[in-house]
Amino acid sequence: MANEVEIKFRIADRKALEESLRANQFREKTASTHELNTLYDFPGSKLRGRGELLRIREFGGKWKVTHKAKGKAGKHKSRKETETSIGDGQKLEEIFEALGLKPSFRYEKFRAEWTDGKGDVVLDHTPVGEFGEIEGEPDWIDHVAKLLGISEDQYITSSYAELFQQFVRSSNRKAANMTFAECGTK
């Protein structure tokens, strides 16, 4: 299992951020691509209750299954992540459902991935706003954030599910999933 360490931040000006990434020797490794994520859980939300996540992700026609263990809160979000590519996400969904797992939350976004070879910066256009993520070693995350003009008080360690819940509360929307159609955003 790998240890995932990351922070999110709100993007105020995407074009300026992309220019800053280029100026700091980052290259775009994946252009903005649609991504659909489905979280699965047992009845009674057993995984969520333990702080765990089980996800099937479709990104650019490729599928991955991911398990994330309970994380540690701090300046950075850190938790064990086990992930592997799969050939057919729809078949895996059938297997999960046969085992008693049910879809518990869906979220989508358009994601662009950037790298400097040491870590990744991703730019996400989501139904609840524009967010970036910086993922890598903690010192590298802080260094890159500073290069990009992101202060530590702008760090977000919330999950997309938590950001979605904040959006629903503040906007009085009835959406159950973080999709563009349900949130009424583009």
Tokens 């252009």 sit on residue: 31
Cβ density class 11-40: b for 16+ within 10 Å, e for less: beeeeebbebbeeeebeeeeeeeebebbbb
User: At 137, is the secondary structure helix, strand, or coil?
Assistant: coil
Average pLDDT, the chain: 96
Nearest to 80 by CA among 92, 96, 68, 63: 68
For the segment 13-38, the average pLDDT, to the nearest whole number, is 98
pLDDT tens digits along 76-135: 999 999 999 999 999 999 999 999 999 999 999 999 999 999 999 999 999 999 999 999
Tokens 């609840």 identify what position? 128
How many CB atoms sit inside 10 A of residue 43's CB?
Answer: 8
Inform me whether the pLDDT recorded for 1 exceeds 70: no
Q: Is the pLDDT of residue 173 over 80?
A: yes
- % residues pLDDT > 70 (the chain): 99
